[in-house]
């Protein structure tokens, strides 16, 4: 592949303001082209691009196109930076009146050097906001898509569409459906800006000459105009790849913007230490409808602030995943200690969740055309969610880790929307780690708060996710939560119900339909604060679950907690896969005695504290 760096512009606003600056502080920069102005640590803008593309494994040759007026500046830069002088192309122009235009400059290189390769073309006088930009990710996506490629980014609040090329991108195929060169804000609602950073297949390069024959005016020979024609008129497929961070010093910038850029990058480079990012996801309780989320049913669930999982990430030289001292033990006091810990907590801690999330995150970004910065990190986690009691501890770790990765690599919500984020978390567990799970926990941990969820089959197949409706968390009643201090593996509770459902077992199919009906009634009861009705529905939810899973699968510990709660007139049900119960006790005196009874029976009990966003 060939790389072409374009730096042939004339008479920039920045050069003019430097020349006329009154204080004389910038007099030593008069005449120096924008791409060679000094930046942070003495590095120039062009130095950044040369470091990025000077990789023999990626590019067979790199060319630089400039004009006759600035040629000597670039020749001097080339000799000082080991850039082949013979690869500097002089387009012969000396003023803005005689300039050729970027399309003609690109066509000049292709015609004069007679190469038959794919081409990446970049404006060499702009700068990627993230200096750790990884060019290999761009080329990988270009080869994967087998079409033309344009880089774009999400515009910041102060940027105006009139100064950028604006693209509309299909979120499913990543194909650019429309390209507008410097449109007014009324033309399109898109805030996705394309810069001069394109990859072209060799077979598409002849269109440059075709375009030049049809457009003789230099103002029409901008690459943005060419891309507008290529996408909107010819119908040639052009894909878009997003950079999570934007670009600086694009096109015509003034002295104040240059000084702002210097200050910004100076502060970044002189940062004292790598700043860590900590994200938290909360445990959840299933209030109604579970476990029908895995069977196209409906549920209501709520995040609680009693328990949570934290993930922390910070920049480092290598990617390092730190085992948790309690959850990922590698040392034991004795063989008996190893036996006790393994029997109680199993063999699989949280480290595998971190690794699987990172793997899936990279895969998602590669497939979605999101170019991640070339930055490594150290990642660790902590959690106080009791293990194996069905409070969504595993998905909380994955959710918190995903939040960290998104923040670390500057992804925004639109890059991974909430409904798809829940799918992502589920896929980490089901596809990467073969954990039996449903969507409910991941949805409520992504949306947070009190959430009504409809997993209708037709809806899931049509749009890839269900209907998720946040509810007013102030409507939530005063639940209590109890769990076993020494639970069995909660995964066993699923038994053979799924296989029976797949086989069309009429009892299971009818039960899942009834779960959904109970959920709709519970939504009405919660919104109207009809706690007696909700209590009745909670008990029905448990009995229905009991009827299809059987007592043997539910286990004596779960049944004992349910029976104990009911002795005090409380509604009781399982909030998850097993190991814990939630209850709703409407008599305050009974609630006091209920708590004592649970404690005396060896269970852990607490008041549920709802968590809302």
Q: Please give the structure tokens belonging to residue 264.
A: 């910004």
Q: What are phi and psi of 325, to 5 degrees?
A: -60, -25
Please report the beta strands in 55-136, taking only residues with DSSP state E, as ranges in sequence order: 61-66, 88-90, 119-123, 127-128
441 belongs to the catalytic site: yes
- Which has the closest alpha carbon to 301: 494, 573, 591? 573
Cβ neighbors of 97 (< 8 A, separation 6 or more) are: none
Please report the beta strands in 124-232, taking only residues with DSSP state E, as ranges in sequence order: 127-128, 148-154, 165-169, 176-181, 192-200
Q: What are phi and psi of 594, to 5 degrees?
A: -60, -45
Q: Between β-strands 192-200 and 148-154, what pairing exists: parallel, antiparallel or unpaired?
A: antiparallel
Catalytic one of 410, 441, 505, 587: 441
| Residues 604, 239: Cα–Cα separation, whole Å | 55
476: left (phi over 0), alpha (psi -120 to 50) or beta: beta
Q: Could you tell me how far CA 593 lies from the centroid of its own chain?
A: 47
588-600 vs 556-566: helix crossing angle, rounded to 10: 150
Q: What is the signed CA dihedral for 243, 248, 249, 255, rounded to 10 degrees?
A: 170
Bridge-partner residues for 21, per DSSP?
A: none
- Which residues are tagged catalytic? 441
């Amino acid at each position: 592949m060939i790389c072409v760096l374009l730096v042939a512009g004339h008479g920039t606003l920045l050069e003019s303001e430097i020349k006329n600056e009154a204080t004389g502080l910038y007099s030593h920069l008069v005449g120096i082209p924008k791409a060679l102005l000094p930046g942070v640590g003495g590095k120039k803008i062009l130095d950044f691009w040369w470091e990025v593309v000077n990789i023999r494994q990626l590019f067979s040759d790199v060319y630089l196109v400039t004009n006759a007026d600035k040629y000597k500046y670039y020749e001097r830069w080339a000799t000082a930076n080991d850039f082949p002088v013979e690869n500097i192309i002089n387009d012969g122009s000396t003023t803005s009146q005689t300039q050729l235009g970027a399309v003609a400059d690109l066509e000049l290189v292709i015609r004069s050097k007679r190469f038959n390769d794919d081409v990446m073309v970049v404006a060499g006088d702009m700068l990627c906001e993230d200096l750790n930009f990884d060019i290999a990710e761009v080329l990988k996506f270009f080869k994967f898509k087998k079409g033309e490629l344009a880089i774009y980014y999400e515009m910041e609040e102060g940027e105006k569409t009139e100064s950028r090329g604006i693209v509309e991108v299909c979120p499913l195929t990543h194909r650019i459906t429309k390209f507008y060169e410097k449109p007014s804000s009324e033309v399109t609602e898109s805030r996705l800006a394309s810069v001069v950073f394109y990859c072209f297949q060799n077979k598409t390069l002849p269109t440059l000459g075709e375009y030049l024959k049809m457009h003789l005016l230099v103002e029409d020979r901008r690459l943005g105009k060419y891309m507008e024609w290529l996408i909107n008129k010819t119908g040639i497929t052009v894909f878009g790849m997003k950079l999570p961070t934007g670009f600086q010093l694009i096109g015509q910038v003034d002295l104040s913007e240059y000084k702002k850029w210097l200050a910004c990058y100076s502060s970044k480079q002189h940062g004292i230490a790598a700043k860590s990012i900590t994200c938290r996801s909360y445990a959840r309780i299933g209030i109604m409808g579970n476990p029908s989320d895995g069977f196209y049913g409906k549920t209501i669930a709520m995040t609680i602030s009693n328990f949570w999982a934290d993930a922390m990430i910070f920049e480092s030289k290598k990617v390092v995943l730190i085992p948790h001292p309690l959850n990922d033990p590698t040392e034991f006091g004795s063989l008996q200690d190893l036996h006790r810990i393994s029997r109680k907590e199993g063999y699989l801690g949280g480290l595998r969740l971190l690794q699987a999330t990172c793997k899936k995150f990279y895969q998602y970004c590669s497939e979605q055309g999101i170019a991640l910065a070339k930055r490594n990190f150290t990642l660790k986690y902590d959690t106080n969610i009791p293990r194996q009691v069905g409070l969504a501890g595993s998905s909380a770790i994955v959710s918190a880790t995903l939040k960290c990765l998104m923040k670390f690599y500057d992804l925004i919500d639109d890059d991974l929307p909430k409904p798809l984020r829940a799918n992502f978390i589920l896929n980490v567990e089901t596809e990467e780690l073969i954990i039996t799970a449903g969507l409910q926990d991941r949805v409520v941990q992504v949306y947070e708060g009190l959430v009504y969820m409809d997993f209708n089959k037709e809806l899931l197949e049509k749009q890839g996710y269900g209907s998720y409706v946040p509810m007013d968390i102030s409507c939530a009643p005063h639940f209590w939560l109890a769990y076993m201090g020494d639970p069995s593996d909660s995964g066993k509770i699923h038994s053979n119900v799924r296989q029976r459902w797949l086989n069309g077992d009429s009892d299971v199919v009818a039960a899942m339909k009834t779960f959904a009906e109970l959920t709709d009634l519970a939504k009405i009861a919660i919104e109207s604060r009809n706690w007696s009705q909700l209590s009745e529905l909670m008990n029905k939810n448990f009995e229905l679950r009991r009827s299809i899973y059987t007592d043997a699968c539910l286990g004596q510990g779960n049944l004992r907690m349910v029976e104990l709660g009911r002795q005090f007139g409380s509604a009781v049900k399982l909030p998850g896969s097993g190991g814990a119960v939630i209850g709703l006790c409407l008599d305050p005196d009974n609630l006091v005695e209920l708590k004592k009874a649970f404690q005396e029976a060896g269970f852990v009990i607490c008041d549920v504290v709802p968590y809302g966003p």
